[in-house]
Structure 1
Amino acid sequence: MGSLQNRTALAGNSPFRSYPDFAAYWCRSNRDVVHKGRAMAAKRIAWIDNARGLGIVLVVLGHVITTIGSLPVKSMIFTFHMPLFVFLTTMVLKDEDWRTAAVSKARALLLPYVTYLFLLGLPACLYRLSGSFSAGIVYGAKLALGGTYLTGTMTAFWYMPAIYLTLLGYLFLRQRLGGERSGRFVAAMTVVALLAYAISSLRITVPVPLALHAVPGLVLFMWIGRSIAWNRNVAAMTVAAIAVVCVAIWIERASAGRTFQLDLKNGILGVPLLGILLACAGSQLVFALARLSERSALLSRLLGFLGRTTIPILFLHQAVNIGLRDAGINNQYILTVTALLLPALFALCVRRHLPAACPYLGIPQAKTVGSAGEQHNERSASRQHAGGVTKAALH
């Protein structure tokens, strides 16, 4: 009786003639909300992928091109390109226990690091062993030590272990010292900043295992990145960034070519305070360009793809660059495009033909679209009577 009254009331007070009509509308509405929410979430993070794409292009440019005419391309890029990636890391940093992060970040960062170290290092080590046993042993020891012991084709490998240790150290301090806004945490970051500048002043030239001397500087930039509201007052921040760059150019010219180059790999933070400001300014300009790139579907897809394949490009671009130079190809533009293109194609081939290897190589796996059966269930669920068993495959 109650059910009949409910149906009558529903028919009299709503545009739905029956309860099944209402159920169908409810299912469609919820499905639309879910899909709309997913689209909004994708839109929110699209520019971050684009920024990663721009960042990895800058990394390759900095390793391939020194100057274009009188423009010091490498020095300009080195003022901010590594802090840029630290800032991007802070934007997606989860509030999780440092021990949980130790496992998840090991899979995301250290597993690809070890894989590429094996892929590139083992053949080189065997080649040296075939010529001289002692040379092979020394080279193998350098591979194990990592950090700034790695040069040549593996010169960019230092970053992964260093950022892994940075993340764990930062999360550990944040957890133990009462959060990022606590006085104890700020005091700890002040000590870290002093330590980073002390290391920077030493100009360390000897190899350091796992680039441990870079960790204080990375922690400092991680704190700075977490402290800046990158998504607020974007226009004002971009104008301020342009102003900082203009001041740096004026100082560079007034001081007869003083360099602001920031080299985190060697623990160098550049000019005190101004080096940090310039790193933040350069990163903000990249973020602004990444946001603008969303207006072009083609450019956004290209940068987003490069951003999602950052790890294989980071690990393989120097091997491509040096290999082509050894083969006699020295055109810097051809080298730049090829050093980006070949690792990206490698990632595509692995994702298509060897998906099980993707986690080991830092390659995002292809998203699977729901099967035809699942889509049929989703459509039929909206037509199920509310009193029946509704099987909704709402993704």
Structure 2
Amino acid sequence: MPAAAGAGLRGHAVPARHAIRLFVRQQALPPIAAEARGRVLRPIHEREGVGALVSGQCGAGRASGFAMVPPAAAAETQAREGLAVPASETRTRLVDIDTAKGIGIVLVVLGHVVSQQVPAGHDWYQQLKTAIYLFHMPFFMYLSGYVLGYAGFGKREGAAEFIARRADRLLLPFFAFGLIIIAGKVVFSQIVHVDNTQDSLLAYLDGLFIHTSRSPATSVWYLYAAFVYALLFRFVVVPFPRLLPALIAIGLVLTQAEVESLLYADRVLRHAAFFFIGVWVGMRREAMAELLARHGWLILAAFAAALALAQVLAAPLLGLAVALLSIPALHFAATRLAAAGDPVFLFFGRYTMAIYLFNTICIGLVKGFGFVVVKWDGNAFYAYFIVLTLAGLFLPVLIRRVVERVTPRLARYIT
């Protein structure tokens, strides 16, 4: 970080964490953060033009327990399925959900710093990664389902239009980024260290699309899963809303099932419950607001206790409990941060798609070229941990901004 970033307005030194906050505040966030401050937990009117949802719980004009901010940036595309509401569908932004996305994507990046073998003497990172992997993707799936359930997109679209839009937004990036990652591994493995390489192009393609336990681009599975879930939402939940509890129950059972890693079936089935929980909560936003207002701190404490216990007791059902508790706990944390006007997670939440798609690429490139200079053994890993985390968060933001300027038509796939 440039020295100027750490200087206060009066010439005094500012700690690094404050310098980062200052940088983030300067990145077009004030219009949102200023309106969000102090309003997130107060009931205000729901957005207009969304129409009634499947359950009729969250139609236009109803009051919600969370604030929604009508930012100047509402015209900016927010159409990435499952993690953002299309700007054409709404005149407002859900600040707590944007903040929650920021929390989720930071956890994702932290878990991607090391993809294979943790350097000797740094078991703390393995413990951190193990803890994060208990709940970060369940929470992401919850947010995806929440937005779809809240907006009720499928009620106003024909089946063909629905499938086409989601294939364009989810399947096209899935295939494109999977192939880009393969090409990058093939090219850069001849120059620098690259993780998770295969012996041939056929092996790469087989891992990406068929025997997916050895996928060379494991991070993109979320896009494929979100597409499958969206189809289930449109063709099961929309016409038969009373089946939603059954889908959740079946999904919870499948979290404990042994499923073969073909076509990402294991990941899709094990995370389905969290997506449909999100749909259910999104259709009942006021109920979640009331729950968090009354019991948020207790839920957060229960989540922390379960997470700590899971580090010393290996039990599948305990892992499921951690994943389930993370949903209200992190949502509560997001509402508190948003109410305080915290800009950091809100900032990352607005760039979630770009960070999700590019973070492993950026981390891999920085690490590969860094290894040319110094390996990450011993104390060097602490520096690598910081640098790679920042690279995974901020380089994708830079990439998105460049793409928006150079080719706006492609930018919609990473926003």
Scaled by the length of structure 2, what TM-score is found?
0.62
In 2: Cα distance, 1:338 partner to 1:64 partner: 10
Q: CA RMSD in A?
A: 3.4
Partner of 2:50: none
How far the C-alpha of 1:337 sits from its partner, in A, is 0.6
Q: Does 1:172 align with 2:235?
A: yes
Question: What secondary structure sits across from 1:197 in the alignment?
Answer: coil
User: Residues 171 and 125 of structure 1: is their aligned pair in 2 closer, same or farther, counting only changes over 3 Å?
Assistant: same
Partner of 2:354: 312
Amino acid at match of 1:314: Y
In 2: Cα distance, 1:77 partner to 1:63 partner: 10
Note if contact 1:196-1:216 (Cα within 8 Å) is conserved in structure 2: yes
2:179 to 111, 118, 127: 118
- Deviation string 1:65-114 (CA, Å, 9 cap, x unpaired) is 67685892112211211111111112211431555432222222122222
Partner of 2:204: 139
Partner of 1:383: none
How far the C-alpha of 1:214 sits from its partner, in A, is 2.0
Q: Does 1:345 align with 2:345?
A: no
Question: What secondary structure sits across from 2:278 in the alignment?
Answer: helix
Unaligned segments of structure 1, at least 5 residues: 1-35, 261-270, 365-395
1:143-162 to 2 correspondence within 5 Å? Answer: 143-145=208-210, 147-151=212-216, 154-162=217-225
In 2: Cα distance, 1:236 partner to 1:92 partner: 23
In 2: Cα distance, 1:146 partner to 1:103 partner: 26
Partner of 1:240: 298
User: Residues 110 and 146 of structure 1: is their aligned pair in 2 closer, same or farther, counting only changes over 3 Å?
Assistant: farther
Partner of 1:283: 327
Note if contact 1:147-1:157 (Cα within 8 Å) is conserved in structure 2: no
Partner of 2:414: 363
Amino acid at match of 2:334: A
User: Residues 226 and 240 of structure 1: is their aligned pair in 2 closer, same or farther, counting only changes over 3 Å?
Assistant: farther
Partner of 1:208: 262
Q: 72-81 or 240-249: which moved more?
A: 240-249
- Deviation string 1:250-286 (CA, Å, 9 cap, x unpaired) is 6447xxx2246xxxxxxxxxx22x4333223223332
In 2: Cα distance, 1:282 partner to 1:185 partner: 21
In 2: Cα distance, 1:164 partner to 1:235 partner: 33
Unaligned segments of structure 2, at least 5 residues: 1-67, 75-89, 191-197, 282-286, 377-383
- Deviation string 1:13-47 (CA, Å, 9 cap, x unpaired) is xxxxxxxxxxxxxxxxxxxxxxx994597765122
Question: What secondary structure sits across from 1:103 in the alignment?
Answer: helix
Question: What secondary structure sits across from 1:198 in the alignment?
Answer: coil
How far the C-alpha of 1:135 sits from its partner, in A, is 1.9
Identity %: 23
Question: What secondary structure sits across from 2:313 in the alignment?
Answer: coil
Question: What secondary structure sits across from 2:256 in the alignment?
Answer: helix
User: Residues 258 and 281 of structure 1: is their aligned pair in 2 closer, same or farther, counting only changes over 3 Å?
Assistant: same
Note if contact 2:250-2:273 (Cα within 8 Å) is conserved in structure 1: no
How far the C-alpha of 1:197 sits from its partner, in A, is 2.3
Question: What secondary structure sits across from 1:232 in the alignment?
Answer: helix
2:145 to 90, 99, 104: 90
Amino acid at match of 2:106: V
Question: What secondary structure sits across from 2:257 in the alignment?
Answer: helix
Question: What secondary structure sits across from 2:289 in the alignment?
Answer: coil
In 1: Cα distance, 2:334 partner to 2:92 partner: 12
